Amino acid sequence: MRTLLVKHIKPVCFVLCCLPLAYLATLFLMDELGANPIEWVTRFSGTWALRMLLIALMATPLQRGLGAVWPFRIRRMLGLFGFFYVTVHLSSYIVLDQFFDWYEIYYDLVERPFIMAGMVAFVLLIPLAITSTKKMMRRLGKRWKQLHRSVYLIAALGILHYFLLIKLGWFEPAIYLLVYTLLMIMRMPLTKMLSQVVRREPTPDSS
Amino acid sequence: MLIKSRSTHDCLESEVTDHSLYLQRRRFMEVSARGLGLAAIAPSLLLSACSDAATDDGRDQASSQPAQAADELTPYKDVTSYNNFYEFGLGKSDPAKYAADFKVKPWSVKVEGAVEKAGTFDLEDLLKGVQQEERIYRLRCVEAWSMVIPWYGFALSDLINKLKPTSAAKYVQFETLYDPAQMPGQKGRALDWPYVEGLRLDEAMHPLAFMATGLYGKDLLGQNGAPFRLVVPWKYGFKSIKSIVVIRFTETEPATSWNLANPREYGFYANVNPKVNHPRWSQRKERRIGEFRKRPTLAFNGYGDQVAGLYQGMDLKRYF
């Protein structure tokens, strides 16, 4: 079962990443989005955009921790799904919420720090999505890695966006911040070394 | 009072515009909204117009009001399923979910402070002899959405007159029930419970200030603030405190929950004001529940001709 999963990791991952979208579509078709469907769609897509970005950030620590190759094989897909949900989120804001009211959108940007944080995160994501192909990876070489490190900043901006928009309390964005912090710690040189030591120790054979 | 006079703000069920007419008016609205913006720039003009309005006949008044889109009633289902009532949880659907078994009988109300009839009353006794009626009001939430709700209830001034505040009373404060066993949201520290709200006494005595006991001809449900709640249509929704158990008359400005939680964003007055910015929501526009396009938000939620006089000479950007 497990080997089968690993073998077909890409299609499995693709289907899983589509589930939030399928859920959204189902509720829409059943007219179950509630009294304020636009707010619901915006919130839902935003939540999943942030989740997807954090899930994509898990690929590297997972690969290191497990010593397996499969997290690397889905890393790009996870990142692109992150970009996809961010795009749905932004479209929901521009098309459904503001209906191309550029005047209001401009004032939202300058008056509401959370909108600015979100918009900057989106803009920074665009070059990452464009350079996600194998060809671009080859062409950029070393610079590709440097460029794609900006996703750490983007995820942080996404969490900031959440902190700034919430009306009361901090509990929910704090969970995202905690996950993000853990993922960042796992990238530090010291933890990298530790995980290598742990991996070298003999483990029960998992067939 | 034996003779019931119809006041200018009353909408009758028969006056609610039918849908096709309403759709035609939307187009007219978009053009006239610009004119309205002009009126907002000249508040003195507006004020002088409304000082005579009090004596006008209701029909004449209607024509002098700023043009605005027809108000279609928000469906009962939406009014009772999309609520902010943090005592029952932070999600919009939490109140409907967790208030299903909310007990409202018996319900006692404590009246205290600068008032002659201080004491604890059963709600039914408190409301004995108070004339109840239907009122259709717009409700504008600070989160930039709005509804139109046919409330059932009575003028707050009728109750206040009955309670006879002393001359020392300048404000009235209300308190929501504190009962974490029934209100699961109160187990968290989202706000400093119990929820408190207040009005200046002249605001509370204004004929538009209303106490609701029902909506759509039915008793209020828990999520809407059963068994009785305040409705102040020219202020953001959070002023209209729900499930009231204390009415307190004070000499000084009372504490209000959102102002305590975040004084930079929520003031004591909280009048609907498209010109006072909020860091989270543009207050220039609002989404009427059930509509796609946003509509412009009106000063005092469109009740300015009746209530702007209460704030004459006040800097509304400072006293937001």
Stretch among A3-7, A46-50, A194-198, A200-204 having the lowest mean pLDDT: A200-204
CB contact at 8 A, B124 and B228: no
CA distance B256 to B248: 13
Q: What is the DSSP letter of B311?
A: G
> Which secondary-structure segment (H or E) carries B238?
none
Q: Is B289–A35 a contact, with Cβ atoms under 8 angstroms apart?
A: yes
Pick from B78, B92, B189 the residue to mutate for testing the A interface (most A CBs within 10 Å): B92
pLDDT band at A89 (very low <50, low <70, confident <90, very high): very high
Give CB contacts under 8 A, 24+ apart, made by B100-106: B100/B222, B101/B182, B101/B222, B102/B182, B102/B183, B102/B221, B102/B222, B102/B226, B102/B243, B103/B182, B104/B222, B104/B226, B104/B227, B104/B243, B105/B227
pLDDT band at B10 (very low <50, low <70, confident <90, very high): low
- Chain B residues with CB under 8 Å of A104 CB are 282, 284-285, 294
- Chain A residues with CB under 8 Å of B193 CB are none
Chain B residues at the A interface, defined by Cβ less than 8 Å, are 77-78, 81-82, 86, 90, 92-93, 143, 145, 190-191, 261, 277, 279-282, 284-285, 287, 289-290, 292-294
Judged against a pLDDT cut of 80, whether residue A3 lies above it is answered with no
- Chain B residues with CB under 8 Å of A169 CB are 90, 190
Pick from B224, B259, B283, B294 the residue to mutate for testing the A interface (most A CBs within 10 Å): B294
**Domain total of chain A:** 1
Tokens representing B52 are: 């005579």
Domain contains A30? yes
Of B81, B282, B292, the CB nearest to A35: B81
Q: What is the pLDDT of residue B29?
A: 43
Judged against a pLDDT cut of 80, whether residue B302 lies above it is answered with yes
**CA triplet B14, B16, B19: central angle to 5 degrees?**
120
Q: Is A168–B190 a contact, with Cβ atoms under 8 angstroms apart?
A: yes
Nearest chain A residue to B191 by CA: give it: A168
CB contact at 8 A, A83 and A177: no
Separation in Å, CA of B280 to nearest CA in chain A: 6
Q: What is the DSSP letter of B165?
A: B
Q: What is the pLDDT of residue B9?
A: 56
CA distance B27 to A198: 69
Q: Is B93–A114 a contact, with Cβ atoms under 8 angstroms apart?
A: no
Q: Are strands B196-200 and B171-176 parallel, antiparallel or unpaired?
A: antiparallel
Q: Is the dihedral of CA B296, B300, B301, B303 positive or negative?
A: negative
CB pairs under 8 A between A and B: 56
Of B86, B261, B293, the CB nearest to A99: B293
Mean pLDDT value across residues A176-200: 81
Domain contains A203? no
Tokens representing A19 are: 């589930």
Q: Is B81–A36 a contact, with Cβ atoms under 8 angstroms apart?
A: no
Residue spans per domain, chain B: 11-39, 69-272+287-293
Mean pLDDT value across residues A86-103: 95
CA distance A85 to B1: 60
Separation in Å, CA of A1 to nearest CA in chain B: 39
pTM for the complete prediction?
0.80
Q: What is the DSSP letter of B18?
A: P
Question: For residue B176, which of B213, B228, B211, B217 has the smallest C-alpha distance?
Answer: B228
Q: Is B190–A108 a contact, with Cβ atoms under 8 angstroms apart?
A: no
- Chain A residues with CB under 8 Å of B277 CB are 111
Domain contains A206? no
The amino acid at residue A171 is F
Other Cβ atoms less than 10 A from the Cβ of B228: the count is: 24
CA distance B36 to B67: 7
Nearest chain A residue to B81 by CA: give it: A35
Dihedral of CA atoms B289, B260, B312, B316 in degrees, nearest 10, equals: -70
Q: What is the DSSP letter of B140?
A: E
ipTM of the complex: 0.82
For B182-217, the three-class secondary structure string (H helix, E strand, C coil) is CCHHHHCCCCCCCCEEEEEHHHHCCCCCEEEEEECC
Tokens representing A50 are: 């942030």
Q: Which fold has domain B69-272+287-293?
A: Sulfite Oxidase; Chain A, domain 2 (3.90.420)
pLDDT band at A200 (very low <50, low <70, confident <90, very high): low
Encode pLDDT of B277-289 as tens digits.
Answer: 888 888 999 999 9
Mean pLDDT value across residues A24-41: 94
Q: Could you list the residue range(s) of the whole structural domain that residue A99 is in?
A: 2-198
Of A36, A96, A114, the CB nearest to B289: A36
> Which secondary-structure segment (H or E) carries A199?
helix A189-200
Q: What is the pLDDT of residue A116?
A: 96
Domain contains A35? yes
Mean pLDDT value across residues B229-242: 97
Mean pLDDT value across residues A40-66: 93
Domain contains A207? no
> Which residue would you say has higher pLDDT here, B16 or B316?
B316
Bridge partners, residue B173, by sequence:
B198, B248
Nearest chain A residue to B83 by CA: give it: A35
Separation in Å, CA of B230 to nearest CA in chain A: 22
Pick from A27, A32, A36 the residue to mutate for testing the B interface (most B CBs within 10 Å): A36
Q: What is the pLDDT of residue B126?
A: 93
φ, ψ at B171 (rounded to 5°): -140, 160
Encode pLDDT of B57-85 as tens digits.
Answer: 333 333 334 445 578 999 999 999 999 99
Q: Is the dihedral of CA A141, A143, A145, A151 positive or negative?
A: negative
Judged against a pLDDT cut of 70, whether residue B24 lies above it is answered with no
